[in-house]
Chains A and B, each alone.
Chain A
């Protein structure tokens, strides 16, 4: 399989093609502030690339609590913050970290934090608040083996469902999954753009391997990085509304201190933000929260496909596992098996439509992941009875490519 370095010439996360007015209708699109862009080629790990992606995207507020294997991202941001004019606060814990991001966002800043499973667990309560209050922010979860404190220095992809279903109540987030340090940069820029447009937390679901792996990362010059600046309301006071429940993105925020009276609450609220705790209002709010993402899934979802047409077997994978899978796919093709690759760049919303369309054409799907079987449930849900083989693996290490190869062989029978 022909592969190329993602990002620069591949998926183009920070490039122009993924930040267009078709993708973000009605949005103002500008180029990045050169102050935050450390342009040029680097030999960098994924964690550092996440911090650089945030700075390039215009993030100027980071609140976090160090935890392996995400700490390097916080260190990088802290180191660069003074020269960029950003603020970095080490908080007392992860509950406080995400609370600070919510405040920072309504104070007018693009905000981010990094953590891993244990920290993400602590963040989930306020992640729900951020969803409900439609507060943009980017959270990178550099996954390590769990549950609980688990395997602090070893890799996993065990928090895929937690990212989606962590907070209580119905809510919908966006999650992206980089397969390399380059994509850590590219997808963090993209995460900010999605987050600003849909006013929703966007989660970078990476893993210890990618987070700690050094590779070449090319940071483009600022004028080649397209970003969505914060969209703040500036109209007359009487028509100021921090919310609009129309199942779409692109709505302005109201910045605290700009002189508008508005209210932010986790309670079910009206368009001014004041509590209206009725079943009718909840239908409006929840439908909007869900549909602004699900209804725009076609615009949000990005996949990387390889030799899908005519494939008997399709391997669905993401993150570091997708790279290991390519090795298995190459070997399977040498044996004459027609196998295609579907890499999930966007994890949530899930590429439901694509799987449903592919299912009748293939013998089986193979889903390798470093967990006991999480995204495979989504594939099964959409596969319409077509065979789905889970190549699960409990964390601590990446797959042996031969194990994926064996599953591809089995799928082809």
Chain B
């Protein structure tokens, strides 16, 4: 301990002398007691002064080598001693949405490489610098920047944060301090300054940002979809994956749309321009010619892109086309005797195939579009909870692409999302309620979630919801996909939920990592004893994803487990499952 001096302490000469006499005589327990006592009396005084004020401070760090983290933790300790409620977190672990709820923010952040943010600050940095960054009028902040003057971009990340927080409306609590490699002294000064300001200004109460949102005048629905702005669109599959799964975040701000976990989102896609152009080209039509759809006129190309279904063949469509073709082969295919052959033909083919496979077309653009069905919305299980992401909705979209009949075929909506939907674009959406896929009313009820592939989407919403309401029930997730390294959808989020206990248990099966393919049902069997115990405790089981194989296999496995562990016949096991269904303890969202 350095001796107290008049120059570096707030004490007068006499006090300094007394302190210097007293201090060396104290043992560490006495010192600790004293610091606690002083802090406590200090905070009692503060509390009395501003009885209704909260004293919450959030300290976020972005750290590459650990220095910023250590400093942030020290800052947190000091503030705690002064009676503040402090949250210290890495920028990576901090949910950006929380920004709306906090009023005092301290950043301790270093700069890495050529002026880049440290790894664990990157996503927060990008969020704040993106269009999604919220207004921060309610926020006061101060930045401690760590750096190294031997680098060109000294303390750049800290400077960027400082500037950006101000741009977003934040008030600077205390001027930013930039530190060189020997940061200790300057950091201490900064903390002192911050503390001084906090004392002076008093901690302010949370500015309620419920700025009485203007009620939307339109009720959005399938008929009147809401034009949701795309906030984020990322591929969840790592490099080298066979798959592409898009995680899409949409803004619902101002829509008045609400939903619950388990509901689905209806999305209106646009057709592939390449496909549209190929049809127009084939028929040698003018793409700009006006056609009328539901008494509204628009150019042919536009209508085909966004109003009409061109990838699904139906019986009605083929019959409608019959009038316009003189091709005997086509008429032969349409005869009632050829039903089987016709069904086979329709599988995996689209309108362009019909136009190419058959000839002698005598069809105007208007006749063509009048024969086509209106473009239908696609439905996706919602992957977010409004409690965790107010004013947002997230979906998980697996891009469908396959080779058939000599051409690469693409799922309309999924590849539209994957290839042509950009941040800032507007996507027409509406909410589709699904009352048959809902969390138990009793938050203590254990839940078992089985969702391989994109089937995992609603369970992300479940976890967000259970975390937000502090549900006490146990939870267990079975997930599977092809490869661990590239296809573990939302991996880091499950890991966080496992760590903080929101998710009790997780089992994964990656089918192509081992010689023998492993699927979720195999993991269920491995755990059959415990799974049955959960069922006996009243757990609710949810299955989401592929209907054809997965849901069937999981269903059979469930019956098998109940029969084996419950020592009952398969008939009784089936009755057991039927009973669960009746009690809404076995719900499925399969497609």
Q: Are A and B co-members of a single complex?
A: no
Q: Which residues of B contact A (CB under 8 A)?
A: none
